[in-house]
């Protein structure tokens, strides 16, 4: 048997208010979800989405077995209203849990540390563990570090360690060893020569080092880690065209842009090139793993305008006179 309790928690001038703009649906043994006031709305503003069945706690970290008429247990995938306001931050390194918007601006929801763990406030004296939250306002959460355990993969008897270029070193870790990770990377984030089979295509970086281990040799991680790259991943803030080293636009059918606004790509360096259509020299980014046919030969001198993009991860070297192309 279910019952419906109408409740909305919001914080104004430090005072907790309760209104009738949202609904908490509960049964006699489990809290299921806190829904937005408009059940037909697709907005996720003000909501936490869970990635695991979650117990509600009090402000001392003690389990609550009674919460708004339920036993204080939230199911996996439930959406829960939170108390507080998200705040802007410079990068995901700044806070344990954070998330980007569509333009890759970073935010976090303030959390409370209880007995060394992060908790989000859901009102009425209730808190849930941040590690069990998958999304905030519909945005996927990143974490700046995670502690996990290494494991065997295929017939391995240990865990090989790779350097920042994706090459296997002589160092190994034991299976079952605790390890703290703080970045993730694809083989092509580490080297342009990666073939996808150099010990696996995806890696995690061991915190405090420039050493990496195969993602298949650790226990499952709940949250995405920030990307590590030796290059830079950029977001197109405008539709983008492809250029060759002479500053000539590589025409697409009907002269349409090669890249759409909102898409992303990896770049390796920045140089100044004179745009043949304007006669002006401006910064361009060289693309990684991109080739064009030039005089019937494969050529990897492919470029995009820096002004059409925004850096998401990594960094690119500044242009120098030696690199300028006229």
Q: What is the structure's pLDDT at 290?
A: 67
- Of 83, 79, 87, nearest in space to 25 by CA: 79
The pLDDT of residue 4 is 31
Are residues 112 and 42 both part of a single domain?
yes
Looking at the fold, whether 26 and 127 belong to one and the same domain comes out as yes
The domain boundary, picked from 142, 157, 192, lies at 142
Residue 317, pLDDT score: 73
Q: What is the pLDDT of residue 27?
A: 34
For tokens 């984030």, the residue is 189
The pLDDT of residue 160 is 96
At 256 the pLDDT is 87
DSSP string covering 137-176: TTEEPEES-EEEEB---TT-SSEEEE-TTS-EEEEEE-TT
Residues 6+ apart with CB under 8 A from 254: none
* 236 and 210 inside one domain: no
- The answer to whether residue 38 sits within a structural domain is yes
Residue ending a domain, among 113, 142, 171, is 142
Is there a domain that residue 224 lies in? Answer: no
**Domain membership flag for residue 227:** no
Range(s) of the domain holding residue 211: 146-217
pLDDT (0 to 100) of residue 126 = 97
Residue 234 CA to residue 10 CA, distance in Å, equals 37
**Are both 137 and 156 inside the same structural domain?**
no
Q: Which residues pair with 203 in a beta bridge?
A: 185, 214
Q: What is the pLDDT of residue 319?
A: 52
pLDDT value of residue 297: 54
99 and 26 housed in the same domain: yes
Residues 302 and 266 in one domain: yes
Q: Are residues 299 and 204 in the same domain?
A: no
Q: Is the dihedral of CA 41, 45, 51, 52 positive or negative?
A: negative
Mean pLDDT by 10 residues, the chain (326 residues): 32 30 34 36 77 96 95 95 96 96 94 97 97 96 97 94 94 97 90 55 92 95 93 94 91 83 91 95 88 59 94 78 47
pLDDT for residue 187: 84
**Residue 65 included in any domain:** yes
Report residue 238 CA to chain centroid gap. 22
Count of domains observed in the chain? 3
Query: Looking at residue 23, what is its pLDDT?
Result: 34
pTM, 2 dp: 0.76
CA dihedral 35, 41, 42, 46 (to 10 degrees): -50
Question: Which of 142, 161, 178 delimits the end of a domain?
Answer: 142
Q: Which pLDDT value is given to residue 32?
A: 33
């Amino acid at each position: 048997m279910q019952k419906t309790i109408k409740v909305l928690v919001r914080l104004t001038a430090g005072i907790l208010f309760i209104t009738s703009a949202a609904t908490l649906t509960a049964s006699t043994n489990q809290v299921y979800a806190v829904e937005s006031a408009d059940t037909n709305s697709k907005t996720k503003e003000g909501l936490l989405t869970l990635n695991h069945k979650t117990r509600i706690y009090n402000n001392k970290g003690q389990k609550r077995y009674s919460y708004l008429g339920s036993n204080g247990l939230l199911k996996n995938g439930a959406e829960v209203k939170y108390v507080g306001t998200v705040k802007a931050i410079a990068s995901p390194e700044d806070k344990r849990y954070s998330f980007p918007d569509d333009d890759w601006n970073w935010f976090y929801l303030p959390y409370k540390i209880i007995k060394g763990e992060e908790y989000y406030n859901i009102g009425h004296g209730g808190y849930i563990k941040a590690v069990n939250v998958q999304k905030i306002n519909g945005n996927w959460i990143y974490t700046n570090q995670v502690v996990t355990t290494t494991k065997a993969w295929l017939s391995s008897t240990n865990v090989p360690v790779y350097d920042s270029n994706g090459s296997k070193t002589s160092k190994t870790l034991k299976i079952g060893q605790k390890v703290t990770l703080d970045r993730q990377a694809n083989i092509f984030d580490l080297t342009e020569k990666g073939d996808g089979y150099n010990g696996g295509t995806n890696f995690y970086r061991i915190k405090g080092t420039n050493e990496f281990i195969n993602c298949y040799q650790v226990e499952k991680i709940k949250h995405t880690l920030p990307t590590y790259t030796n290059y830079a991943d950029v977001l197109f803030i405008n539709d983008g065209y492809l250029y060759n080293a002479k500053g000539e636009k590589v025409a697409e059918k009907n002269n349409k842009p090669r890249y759409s606004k909102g898409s992303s790509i990896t770049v390796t360096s920045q140089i100044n090139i004179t745009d043949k259509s304007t006669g002006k020299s401006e910064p361009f980014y060289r693309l990684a793993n991109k080739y064009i046919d030039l005089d019937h030969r494969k050529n990897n001198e492919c470029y995009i305008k820096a002004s059409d993009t925004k850096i998401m991860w990594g960094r690119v070297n500044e242009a120098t006179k030696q690199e300028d192309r006229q």
